[in-house]
């Protein structure tokens, strides 16, 4: 039995050592795996002639050149569709126009609680274009106008419907969903009277719309939107914006010759909270690189810096973006790794605790076993002590033989007990020291009795020698 528990004790110690050595190795491998970047990601942009795709193309090139991540461009109709792509997991990151979720009817009952922001990029400006003969017609008097509002679920459609609703014209005009590349021909052919376009002022399609025809005629003209300050305060997501004179080439027929008062919403990059923290850290690093901002012509972000990036966001910042904007918040370990290994860490900790208590139980059992053996030796010693009381009680008996046997028993008992313990245990265990002291005390007592009986026997011999001559006389 003792041999079995000795083997268990040895096995438990080796198990504990193996855990201590193996855990750091396994931990390192896991951590490297979670820090590994994806080979390919999907970026939802917009139409081919919009600024979303222009910025997305440059962002994809930067991610590929710097980190070897291939970026697949997902061409969409705009911000509304991009939100759904991220929620459904069809895109890892996407361009988004502020206010899109608020304005969307959300017929599919899709929850957006898992959406997060990476940061603002630039202002998407509401461009209101009209036929040249309607430049003086106020929006409030455009009854029965055919107004193009972009593709379905695009940011342009959502903002256009909202603005016309504010002017109480949403039920007095005809909404026409047209893609951006169809607008110019629609204006030329007289199919539409006006159009809303929500895009960055540097979007390539705008100059295409404003340029004159070969005969010098103009397809459409850019005009102001009235009451922009009031609309800004009412909406909560739109901002007043002034397109300065000269923003568009004055040689273009539809370019305004004076500043244009309008509204704008921030263009942002969004993702899901489930996307890798490490990936979002790298994307945010690229977005905040002045060289990238210059290439992508993100002038507002270049001038405003991280303050502009963190302002007016519809969703909370992704953890990876927070690590870049606020480096002090970055933990020692990758957040994805910590969350993903929570169950494993609980198991390992439980295993270590179980190993600890197993070792403790085996050690305590051994100690209890040793104490039981010592108790057995003490009981035998007490029996010897009890028996020796009845010896050497008078001068008429000779108990030396029996006392000598008891003395030998005490010596044997002490030697047997000492073989059961290590030198460390003998030095540190008070019970063992007490047992040894009892053995010495009993040995001294028995030796004293043997010595007294020997002395008595010797004295009797001397007395007999003295009395012998007297009896002869």
Mean pLDDT of 96-105: 85
List, for residues 390-422, the tens digit of each pLDDT value: 887 676 777 888 888 888 988 988 888 888 777
Residue with tokens 């007095």: 172
Q: What angle do CA 386, 391, 393 make, to 5 degrees?
A: 120
Mean pLDDT of 444-467: 84
Flag whether pLDDT at 27 surpasses 60.
no
82 in Cβ contact with 96 (< 8 Å): yes
pLDDT band at 377 (very low <50, low <70, confident <90, very high): confident
Flag whether pLDDT at 110 surpasses 80.
no
* Of 257 and 24, more confident: 257
List, for residues 414-444, the tens digit of each pLDDT value: 888 888 777 777 777 778 888 888 899 989 9
What percent of the chain has pLDDT above 70?
83
List, for residues 245-287, the tens digit of each pLDDT value: 888 877 776 788 889 999 999 999 999 988 888 899 999 999 9
Contacts of 12 (CB under 8 A, 6+ apart): 355, 358, 359, 362
pLDDT band at 457 (very low <50, low <70, confident <90, very high): confident
pTM score: 0.64
Flag whether pLDDT at 131 surpasses 70.
yes
pLDDT band at 57 (very low <50, low <70, confident <90, very high): very high
Residue-level pLDDT at 420: 78
Rounded CA-CA distance 157/149 in Å is 5
Residue-level pLDDT at 336: 54
Q: What's the whole-number average pLDDT of the chain?
A: 83
Rounded CA-CA distance 343/324 in Å is 28
54 in Cβ contact with 244 (< 8 Å): no
Flag whether pLDDT at 341 surpasses 80.
no
Half-sphere exposure of 451 (CA within 13 A, CB side): 6
pLDDT band at 107 (very low <50, low <70, confident <90, very high): very low
pLDDT band at 20 (very low <50, low <70, confident <90, very high): low
2-6, 194-198, 218-222 — which one is most confidently predicted on average?
194-198
Rounded CA-CA distance 296/58 in Å is 6
Choice among 199-203, 406-410, 443-447 with the minimum mean pLDDT = 199-203
CA nearest to 71, candidates 318, 373, 364, 283 = 283
Structure tokens at 352: 């270590």
Residue-level pLDDT at 428: 75
């Amino acid at each position: 039995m003792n041999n079995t528990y000795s083997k268990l004790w040895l096995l438990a110690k080796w198990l504990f050592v193996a855990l201590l050595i193996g855990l750091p190795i396994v931990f390192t491998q896991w951590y490297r795996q979670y820090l590994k970047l994806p080979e390919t990601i999907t970026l939802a942009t917009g139409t081919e002639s919009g600024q979303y795709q222009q910025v997305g193309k440059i962002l994809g090139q930067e991610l590929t050149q710097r980190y070897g991540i291939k970026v697949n461009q997902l061409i969409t109709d705009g911000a509304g569709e991009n939100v759904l792509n991220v929620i459904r997991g069809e895109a890892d990151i996407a361009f988004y126009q502020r206010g899109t979720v608020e304005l969307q009817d959300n017929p599919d009952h899709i929850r957006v609680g898992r959406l997060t922001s990476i940061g603002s990029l630039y202002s998407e400006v509401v461009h209101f274009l009209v036929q040249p003969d309607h430049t003086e017609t106020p929006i409030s008097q455009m009854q029965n106008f055919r107004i193009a509002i972009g593709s379905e679920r695009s940011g342009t459609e959502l903002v256009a419907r909202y603005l016309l609703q504010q002017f109480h014209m949403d039920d007095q005009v005809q909404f026409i969903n047209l893609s951006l590349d169809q607008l110019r021909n629609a204006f030329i052919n007289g199919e539409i009277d006006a159009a809303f376009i929500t895009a960055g002022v540097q979007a390539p399609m705008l100059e295409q719309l404003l340029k004159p025809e070969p005969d010098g005629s103009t397809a459409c003209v850019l005009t102001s939107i009235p009451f922009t300050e009031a609309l800004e305060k009412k909406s909560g997501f739109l901002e007043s914006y002034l397109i300065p004179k000269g923003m568009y080439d004055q040689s273009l027929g539809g370019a305004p010759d004076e500043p244009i008062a309008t509204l704008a919403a921030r263009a942002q990059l969004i993702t899901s909270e489930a996307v890798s923290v490490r990936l979002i850290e790298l994307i945010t690093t690229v977005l905040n690189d002045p060289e990238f901002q210059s290439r992508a012509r993100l002038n507002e972000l270049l001038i405003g810096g991280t303050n502009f990036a963190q302002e007016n966001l519809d969703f909370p910042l992704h953890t990876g973006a927070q690590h870049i904007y606020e480096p002090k918040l970055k933990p020692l370990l990758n957040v994805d790794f910590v969350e993903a290994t929570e169950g494993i860490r609980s198991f390992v900790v439980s295993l270590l605790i179980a190993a600890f208590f197993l070792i403790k139980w085996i050690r305590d059992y051994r100690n209890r076993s040793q104490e039981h053996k010592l108790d057995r030796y003490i009981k035998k010693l007490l029996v010897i002590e009890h028996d020796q009381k009845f010896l050497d009680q008078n001068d008429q008996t000779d108990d030396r033989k029996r006392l000598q046997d008891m003395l030998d028993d005490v010596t044997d008992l002490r030697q047997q007990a000492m073989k059961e313990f290590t030198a460390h245990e003998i030095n540190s265990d008070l019970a063992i020291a007490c047992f040894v002291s009892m053995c010495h005390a009993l040995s001294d007592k028995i030796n004293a009795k043997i010595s007294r009986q020997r002395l008595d026997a010797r004295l009797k011999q001397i007395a007999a020698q003295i009395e012998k001559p007297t009896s002869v006389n």
